[in-house]
Homo-oligomer: A and B are copies of this chain.
Amino acid sequence: MKVLGIVVEYNPFHNGHLYHLNSAREIVKPDYVVAVMSGSFCQRGEPAIIDKFSRAHIALLNGVDVVFELPFVYATQDAGGFAKGAVWLLERSNVITDIAFGSESANIDFLTKIATVMIDQPEPFPRFMKEELKKGHSFPNARKYALLKYFELTKELSPKEVLRIEKSNDILGVEYIKSLKELKSKIKVHVIKRVGAEDKDESFGGKFSSATSIRKLIIHGDWDKVTQAVPETSLKIIARELNEGRGPITLQQLEEIALAKLRLMGREELQRLYGFSEGIDLRFVECASKFGELDNFLSCVKAKRFTMSKIRRLLLYSLFNISQQFLSKCNELGPQYLRVLGFNTKGRQLLSVIKRKSTIPVLSVCSLYRKVLKKVIKDKTGRFVVDPNLFEKQLLLDIQSTAIHSLLFPNKSERSAQRDFHIPPIIIE
Q: Tell me if A99 counts as interface (CB < 8 A to partner B).
A: no
Taking CB atoms, residues of chain B closer than 8 Å to A90 are none
Do A416 and B256 have beta carbons less than 8 Å apart?
no
Which among A256, A257, A414 has the highest number of chain B CB atoms within 10 Å? A256
Please name the residue on chain B nearest to A289 by beta carbon: B417
Most buried by B among A259, A260, A261, A320: A260
**Min C-beta distance of A406 to chain B, whole Å:** 7
Question: Using an 8 Å CB-CB cutoff, how does the interface string of A271-312 with B read, 1 for contact, 0 for none?
Answer: 000000000000000001111110000000000000000000
Q: Give bound CA distance, A182 to B320, whole Å.
A: 44
**Do B260 and A292 touch across chains, with their CB atoms under 8 A apart?**
no
- Given that A256-B256, A292-B406, A292-B407 are contacting pairs, would A264 and B400 also be in contact in the complex, using a CB cutoff of 8 Å? yes
Q: Which residues of B contact A409 (CB under 8 A)?
A: 292
Say yes or no: is A365 at the interface (Cβ < 8 Å to chain B): no
Q: How far is the CB of A109 from chain B (nearest CB, A)?
A: 46
Q: What interface size band does chain A fall in?
A: 20 to 34
What are 25 A-B pairs with beta-carbon distances under 8 A?
A: A256-B257, A256-B408, A257-B257, A259-B407, A260-B260, A260-B261, A260-B407, A261-B261, A263-B400, A263-B403, A264-B319, A264-B321, A264-B400, A264-B404, A289-B418, A290-B416, A290-B417, A290-B418, A291-B416, A292-B407, A292-B412, A292-B413, A292-B416, A292-B417, A293-B412
Using known A-B contacts A264-B320, A264-B400, determine if residue A407 contacts B256 with beta carbons closer than 8 Å: yes
Report the minimum CB–CB distance from A209 to chain B (whole Å).
31
A261 to B414, CA, bound (A): 18
Residues of B within 8 A of A113 (CB): none
**CB contact between A416 and one of B257, B289, B412 (< 8 Å): that residue:** B289
Q: Which residues of chain B come closer than 8 Å to A25, judged between CB atoms?
A: none
Q: Does A357 make an interface contact (CB < 8 A)? A: no
Whether A404 contacts B320 in the complex (CB less than 8 A), given A293-B412, A293-B413, comes out as no
CB distance from A244 to the nearest CB of B (A): 14
CB distance from A257 to the nearest CB of B (A): 4
> What residue of chain B has the Cβ atom nearest to residue A320's Cβ?
B264
A414: nearest chain-B partner, CB-CB: B292
The minimal Cβ–Cβ distance linking A53 to chain B, given in whole angstroms, is: 17
Inside 8 A of A413's CB, which chain B residues have their CB?
Answer: 292-293
Q: Which residues of B contact A290 (CB under 8 A)?
A: 416-418
Q: Does A355 contact B (CB under 8 A)?
A: no
A137 part of interface (Cβ distance < 8 Å): no
Q: Does A44 contact B (CB under 8 A)?
A: no
CA distance A275 to B408 in the complex (A): 29
Distance (Å) between the CB of A396 and the closest chain B CB? 8
Question: Of residues 368 to 413 in A, which have CB atoms within 8 Å of B's CB atoms?
Answer: 400, 403-404, 406-409, 412-413
